[in-house]
Amino acid sequence: ALPQELIRAKRDGEALSPEAIRELVGGISDGSLSDAQVGALAMAIFLNGMSASETVALTEAVRDSGELLAWGGLGANQDLPGPVLDKHSTGGVGDLVSLVLGPWVAACGGFVPMVSGRGLGHTGGTLDQLESIPGYDIAPSRARFRRLVREAGVAIVGQTAELAPADKRLYAVRDVTATVESLPLIVSSILGKKLACGLDALVMDVKSGSGAFMPTPEKSRELAEAIAEVASRAGTPTTALLTDMSQPLAPCAGNAVEVRQAIALLTGEKRGEESGEKTDGRLMELTRTLAAELLLAGRLAESRSAAVALLDERLASGAAAERFERMVAGLGGPADLLERRDRYLPQAPIVRPVHAERCGRITRMDTRAVGLAVVALGGGRRAPGDAIDHAVGLTGIAALGEAVDGERPLAWVHARSEADAERAAMQLLAAIDVNDVGLGDVTLPTLIQ
Ligand code: URA
């Protein structure tokens, strides 16, 4: 059919057949659809939505628009002696789960070919974090990527041009046509890329709260449910957890500072006064829960408690840290990063505490604004292609409900200049509410909903 007739059908609220969807996505990939047609299609989908079946067809068409990785994990070929597993999040602040989870799952017998993204808007990105490690190559050859997944059990890399190319074009058009916030378009975009990686199982971390990409808890829940259903119907067993982003997940946000935190967690070190015990606890709890989901789905553990026991054993033995080190060395980074991180990871020239204007407890945080403060320090991008400063960010971020005063700051700012530090301090003061209340008066959101 003519593309304009298919677009007309969607415009008029009709459901598109899987064949029609495949044809349209083919036209997006091969360029036979014009930008105007792609934009009109996106708007028709935005306004009229899609049924679950249409969303499954769209996801499969996006997935199949480029190269498909195949590993023969649990399947017939037995290329790899274990399941191929992955985690993806909708994006957060202080979200360094991937850096810890990938090596940790690998140490438990999973294989993790993790294709990650860069920071988007106020959120951090795993690739940006990893690029604070000198030499780390986020774009290895396919052969090197495959070898590393086989030998280290984990490789975290960037998207290649061959992976789900339809999404690349569709996303670029959505970005400039006010059609990003559409459930079927988001689901097919995220899953189209992930399901092209030949996974045996996927776990999705869908964020909710002031730092989430979806505007309300209801929309976050809808997204989580849609992702789990569509991915599973498209043949990749997937669970989605709805998790809290009403404060940064880790007690730090930035790039090198998050890599440091990941190394500290993997090696089981206690850090100094900035360690933020409580928030370390939240990050580790979520990472452990997501990893346990994967071990269960990949049949590496018989029960949730057995999964957690295996995880804790492989963390304590140093096996998870060792996988991280192998991944870093295998992708061109230093072989002794864990031992000599201060030599390799960049540090900002200015580090100063930011104190609240009054004593009290933290009652609310605008996590998005905290993320934007990191972007303004240079830790994220204003426009695609901007260079970022890996050294800057925040550490020792106090948690919701925590008491702050003249001794305990809201956070430490790591900045390139005094002026940058001052601006970040102002942004933090505006983003974090401190009130003279008891701990019982602060609503602490559930981490995993
Ligand atoms: N991330 C994606 O990859 N696609 C979307 O549409 C939204 C978030």
Residue range(s) of every CATH 3.40.1030.10 domain in the chain: 85-330
Atom of ligand 1 nearest to the CA of 174: 6
pLDDT for 76: 45
Q: What average pLDDT does the segment 127-131 reach?
A: 97
**Confidence grade of residue 383 (pLDDT, cut at 50, 70, 90):** confident
List every span in the chain annotated with CATH 3.90.1170.30: 345-441
Average pLDDT on 398-402 reads 96
- pLDDT of residue 279 exceeding 70: no
Half-sphere exposure for 389 (CA within 13 Å, toward CB):
19
pLDDT of residue 391: 98
Distance, CA of 249 to CA of 428 (rounded, Å): 16
Q: Quote the CA–CA distance of 359 and 364 in Å, as a whole number.
A: 14
Q: ipTM value of the model? A: 0.94
Supply the pLDDT for residue 78: 57
CATH of 85-330, one of 3.40.1030.10, 3.30.1330.10, 3.40.50.80, 1.10.600.10: 3.40.1030.10
Asked whether the predicted pLDDT for residue 414 surpasses 60, the reply is: yes
With a 6 Å cutoff on the Cβ, whether 191 touches ligand 1 is no
Instruction: Compute, in angstroms, the gap from residue 124 CA to the centroid of ligand 1.
Output: 14
Question: For residue 210, what are its two tokens?
Answer: 């002031």
Pocket test for ligand 1, best of 168, 179, 180, 207 (most atoms within 8 A of CB): 180
pLDDT value for 284: 96
The pLDDT of residue 273 is 37
186 lines ligand 1 (CB under 6 A): yes
pLDDT for 326 equals 98
Query: What value does the mean pLDDT of the chain take?
Result: 94
Q: What is the pLDDT of residue 385?
A: 83
Which atom of ligand 1 is closest in space to residue 189's alpha carbon?
Answer: 4
The C-alpha atoms of residue 307 and residue 412 are separated, in whole angstroms, by 36
How much of the chain exceeds pLDDT 90, in percent?
Answer: 90
Which residue among 186, 194, 213 is best mutated to probe the pocket of ligand 1, counting the most ligand atoms within 8 A of its Cβ? Answer: 186
Residues of the chain with CATH 1.20.970.10: 3-49
Q: Is the pLDDT confidence value at 10 over 90?
A: yes
Q: pLDDT at residue 73 above 80?
A: no
Q: What is the pLDDT of residue 58?
A: 98
CA–centroid distance, 117 to ligand 1, in Å, is 10
Domain 345-441 classification at class level:
alpha beta
Render pLDDT for 358-377 as a digit per residue (tens, 0 to 9). Answer: 999 999 999 999 999 999 99
pLDDT over 80 (residue 276) = no
Indicate if ligand 1 lies below 6 Å from the C-beta of 42. no
- Determine whether the shortest distance from the Cβ of 189 to ligand 1 is under 6 A: yes
Best residue for ligand 1 mutational test, from 59, 190, 219, 227 (most atoms within 8 Å of Cβ):
190
Model pLDDT for residues 79-91, shown as the tens digit of each residue: 789 999 999 999 9
Nearest residue CA, atom 6 of ligand 1?
186
Output 381 or 107, whichever has higher pLDDT. 107
Distance in Å, CA 5 to ligand 1 centroid: 27
Q: 314-332 pLDDT, tens per residue?
A: 999 999 999 999 999 999 9
Q: Which residues are catalytic?
A: 86-89, 126, 174, 189, 193-194
In this predicted model, what pLDDT tens digit does every residue of 243-262 receive, in sequence order?
999 999 999 999 999 999 99
**pLDDT tens, position by position, 200-219:** 999 999 999 999 988 899 99
pLDDT one-digit tens code per residue, 138-195: 999 999 999 999 999 999 999 999 999 999 999 999 988 999 889 999 999 999 999 9
| 20: phi then psi, degrees, rounded to nearest 5 | -60, -40
Query: Which residues, including other chains, have CB under 8 Å from residue 413's CB and lie 6 or more apart?
Result: 350, 351, 352, 353, 354, 377, 394, 421, 424, 425, 428
Q: Which atom of ligand 1 is nearest to the CA of 117?
A: 3
CA-to-CA separations, 190 to 116, 117, 219, 324, in angstroms, rounded? 11, 11, 16, 25
Q: Is the pLDDT of residue 74 over 90?
A: no
Alpha helices per DSSP H over 319-435 = 319-330, 341-344, 367-374, 418-431
Spell out a b/e string for 405-439, using b for 16 or more CB atoms within 10 Å of the CB, else e.
Answer: eeeebbbbbbbeeeebbebbbebbeebbebeeeee
The full 3-state SS of 169-204, as one line of letters, equals HHHHHHHCCCCCCCHHHHHHHHHHHHHHHCCCEEEE
Ligand 1 site, residue 170, Cβ cutoff 6 A: no
The Cα–Cα gap between 117 and 373 comes to: 20
pTM equals 0.94
CA neighbor of 346 nearest in space, from 402, 296, 410, 391 = 391
Q: Whose CA is nearest to atom 5 of ligand 1?
A: 186
Cα-atom radius of gyration of the chain, to the nearest Å? 22
Q: Which helix (H) or strand (E) holds 233?
A: helix 217-233
Q: State the pLDDT at residue 93.
A: 97
DSSP label at residue 66? S
User: Alpha-carbon torsion 224, 226, 229, 233, what sign?
Assistant: negative
pLDDT category at 77 given cuts 50, 70, 90 is: very low
Any ligand 1 atom below 6 A from CB of 261: no
375 lines ligand 1 (CB under 6 A): no
Q: Whose CA is nearest to atom 1 of ligand 1?
A: 190
User: Predicted confidence band at 270 (pLDDT cuts at 50, 70, 90)?
Assistant: low
Tell me which fold the domain 3-49 belongs to.
1.20.970
The answer, yes or no, to whether any atom of ligand 1 lies below 6 A from the CB of 295, is no
> pLDDT at position 431, please?
98
| Ligand 1 touching residue 190 (CB < 6 A) | yes
